[in-house]
Structure 1
Amino acid sequence: MNDHFRYRQDELYAEQVPLGLIARRFGTPCYVYSRAALESAFHEFDQALAAHEHLLCYAVKANPNLAILNLFARLGAGFDIVSGGELQRVLAAGGAAEKVVFSGVGKREDEMRQALEAGILCFNVESAAELDRLNQVAGGLGQIAPVSLRVNPDVDAKTHPYISTGLKQSKFGVAYSEALALYRKAAGMAHLRVTGIDCHIGSQLTEVGPFIAAAEKVLALVDRLAAEGIALEHFDFGGGLGICYDDETPPSIAEYARALLHALSGRSEKLIVEPGRVLVGNAGVLLTRVEYLKQGEEKNFAIVDAAMNDLMRPALYEAYHQILPVQLAHPLQPVPGGRGGERDKQSLIFEVVGPVCESGDFLGHARELGVVAGDVLAVMSAGAYGMSMSSNYNTRPRAAEVMVDGEQTHLIRERETLEQLYATEKIIT
């Protein structure tokens, strides 16, 4: 829990607004974000790197809501995108194309044309085949595409294998051993201009060491490129700085920045970083209501109205999210209002599960909670990769999203309707 989500007289608040009020007004499941938390994280990152020319390119995939993109754009952010759809979102939210870097291993020709016509800052190229395609597409438009190569430094990020991207077996980036030859090739292509180098080794990193090991390998390659007359304008060291979900102890933004700036000592090239989770993860929660309490032979279940389609991380990664009652109650204190009538809120160990027809549909294992049916729970640290990975599995409308700004609440995405889910489908006769 951070300063922007706190209990006051036994009720959990987002800034100055009780989360129970938001649940009643907008329904559940519902994502709630704190504007102050978003701004605070951005300013902390920006100020930590103030000693070096830099650009913070927010990783759009972490949470692409237009209100969040617009907030960061007005704070001066650039954006790290991985699709043409994300580029269109950034532009719709008021982001500047000239502050956009385009990552991803599978850029289509139409996405390349879209980005070139918009005038983005750089393409982070991830294969020799992509170099060839981008050169051809840029030539067809009569343009010169700015490029960097995403170099795979073969550094162990020491994170979950699904979000580790810097090892030899990863689909991401070009092999370190092949990078020099590919830079030579890019430098000789008629419709490409080499402007930088890119490296991203994974997400939810909880140690500084892997960041610095990767940076040192990349900078050694930079020096070899300079010796061959290939001068770079920027170094992009990606994102991946972790947050605390449970008992992790990730480095602070200040610690990360000090280590990175030390590695860059004596260099004047612009620094680009691509933070995502660390800016939005702890700025959001998912509200969900308890539908039923079910006692099994071996486990107790709190069946809630949010599910794996709303928050995929627990099912996908076995990720941990703290789960807190929005309204605290003391053990054995009778509390009316539950759907099963008056019951004692005695703390028990629950599996917190959703209604989706999958055994993997859970939000938390073995959680001690004092709840009755009808109570609202807050799934904490859900601002990153929550709504952005949600789906309509089991024909479930996606959740509403709300931004809290001091004492005000703003609906920044309406809850989907069932009719919207099949509006584009056709019945054949």
Structure 2
Amino acid sequence: MDHFAYRDRTLLCEDVPVPELAEKYGTPLYVYSEAALLARLTEVQTAFKAADPIIAYSVKSNGNLSICRLMAQHGSGFDVTSGGELHRALTAGGSGKKIVYAGVGKSDAEMRDGLAKGVFLFNVESEAELHALGAVAQSLGVKAPVALRVNPDLPPKTHAKTDTSVKGVKFGLDIETVVDVARSVVGHPGLAIVGVHMHLGSPILSAEPYRQGAAKAVQLVKAFREMGHDIRFLNMGGGFGISYRKQEALPAAAFAEVILPAVKETGCQLVLEPGRFIVGNSGILVSRVVFTKETGGKRYVIQDAAMNDLIRPTLYDSFHRVWPVTPAADVPTWPEDCEAAIPNTQPVDVVGPVCESGDFLAKGRHLPALSRGDLLATFSAGAYGMAMASNYNSRLRAAEVLVTGRTHRLIRRRETFADLTACEDDCLR
């Protein structure tokens, strides 16, 4: 997280002290670095430049309009999975000709909307969806551009809840049957099969699954072309991992090294759908200690961010580094290993105010003594943080701030109690 650093024992985002942001905007607070966002987007664009790729930023990872607009302004398209995400992409300045429409359960209304908005590719995940899309397209007098999503049945690569290319998951067409499905729609009046899509899951910390997946994709491109489909796009999805713990992630160039040969062999245009890789380490969640507590031989730090703000630890047992915004003088400003015992610290559970035992951001983490009012930073929180936030316990969702150098601006205001009940007020009797 190069654009988040400690200076004089205070955490800064770019050139802005985080305490300044917490004072102005309150907590919990999501803070993003514009420089980090653009650096990661540029890294992907540069690594894959030889393939003239369409980079389709994954809106589901973080759909904030200002972040999406920043992506569009710097050459990115969008990967969307719902009508709402399509609306976000277009509102942020995206163009249908650079939007990929994914998702296993598109409704007929979403298909019609996508066709009307001119999305350049529908990732189709089942035979039933394929025929439904064909019927919708026929009713509109158009052909739907389709990339068949194949499940390549690769060995497990990541957490079971985010591994999308092992046998038995809901995603994609089985590799054993996808050729027959493609053959069944040759000449279909409402469908143009123009691509192969393969998303392997996330986060993936090795390039080898992409090498294996790309090899299978090459064979499918050849098979589809032989039966008469004009295959022009090879979509290798996203899923590139980021460093949550230390420096475990690979650079984009490592993935390019195994994907680009397949693109060259097929002559297809490459499509990529990165999300976490761009935004994950571009944001932090800032919270304030409410209480500390010791019970049953365990120590707790109760702070004002909760599972409704960042559900990944509860949902996936995900690890996020947590450290004080202004650490005391007797501890490191930035521990090399946040999972190890650190001098002048003690193991604590970092928990939130939500009425669930599963409400935590970190367990058994070695932290220095903390007091009421101290600020904590939860790192690598830019992806699937605010995007998965909820109003559980009728908690108001956090504000979001974008930092550019020494300036900062609100990109989502904190919710109010009026926002909380707005969709219900008119329904009271």
TM-score interval w.r.t. the shorter chain? over 0.9
- In the other structure, the counterpart of 2:73 is 74
CA contact (8 A) 1:79 1:101 kept: yes
- In the other structure, the counterpart of 2:360 is 362
CA contact (8 A) 1:157 1:201 kept: no
Residue 137 (structure 2) pairs with residue 165 (structure 1): no
| TM-score normalised by structure 2 residue count | 0.95
- In the other structure, the counterpart of 1:335 is none
Deviations 1:227-282 (A, max 9, x none): 22323011000000100111462221111111211333433210001111000000
Residue 226 (structure 2) pairs with residue 235 (structure 1): no
CA contact (8 A) 1:157 1:210 kept: no
- Of residues 308-317 and 50-59 in structure 1, the stretch that sits farther from structure 2 once superposed is 50-59
Aligned partners of 2:255, 2:292: CA distance in 1, in Å? 44
Which residue identity does 1:15 align to in structure 2?
E
- In the other structure, the counterpart of 1:384 is 383
Aligned partners of 1:140, 1:157: CA distance in 2, in Å? 41
Aligned partners of 1:121, 1:188: CA distance in 2, in Å? 19
Residues 428, 9 of structure 1: alpha-carbon distance in 2 compared, 3 angstrom cutoff: closer
Aligned partners of 1:233, 1:83: CA distance in 2, in Å? 24
Deviations 1:123-168 (A, max 9, x none): 1111111111111111111111111110110012410000000011
**Cα drift, residue 90 of structure 1:** 0.4
Deviations 1:375-396 (A, max 9, x none): 0000000000000000000000
Residue 348 (structure 2) pairs with residue 350 (structure 1): yes
- In the other structure, the counterpart of 2:139 is 140
DSSP-derived class of the 2:393 partner = coil
- Of residues 15-24 and 52-61 in structure 1, the stretch that sits farther from structure 2 once superposed is 52-61
CA contact (8 A) 1:156 1:201 kept: no
Q: 5 Å matches for 1:9-408?
A: 9-247=8-246, 249-331=248-330, 347-370=345-368, 371-408=370-407
| TM-score normalised by structure 1 residue count | 0.95
Aligned partners of 2:109, 2:183: CA distance in 1, in Å? 26
Identity %: 45
Aligned partners of 1:157, 1:71: CA distance in 2, in Å? 34
Which blocks of at least 5 consecutive residues in structure 2 are unaligned? 332-342
CA contact (8 A) 2:301 2:348 kept: yes
CA contact (8 A) 2:205 2:240 kept: yes
Which blocks of at least 5 consecutive residues in structure 1 are unaligned? 333-344
Which residue identity does 1:176 align to in structure 2?
I
- In the other structure, the counterpart of 2:339 is none
Aligned partners of 1:20, 1:268: CA distance in 2, in Å? 51
CA contact (8 A) 2:51 2:264 kept: no
Aligned partners of 1:421, 1:324: CA distance in 2, in Å? 31
CA contact (8 A) 1:154 1:166 kept: yes
Aligned residues: 416
**Cα drift, residue 295 of structure 1:** 1.4
Aligned partners of 1:262, 1:129: CA distance in 2, in Å? 33
Q: CA RMSD in A?
A: 1.4
**Cα drift, residue 10 of structure 1:** 0.3
CA contact (8 A) 1:157 1:202 kept: no
Which residue identity does 1:360 align to in structure 2?
G
Aligned partners of 2:166, 2:216: CA distance in 1, in Å? 13
- Of residues 154-163 and 184-193 in structure 1, the stretch that sits farther from structure 2 once superposed is 184-193
Aligned partners of 1:227, 1:189: CA distance in 2, in Å? 16
DSSP-derived class of the 1:327 partner = coil
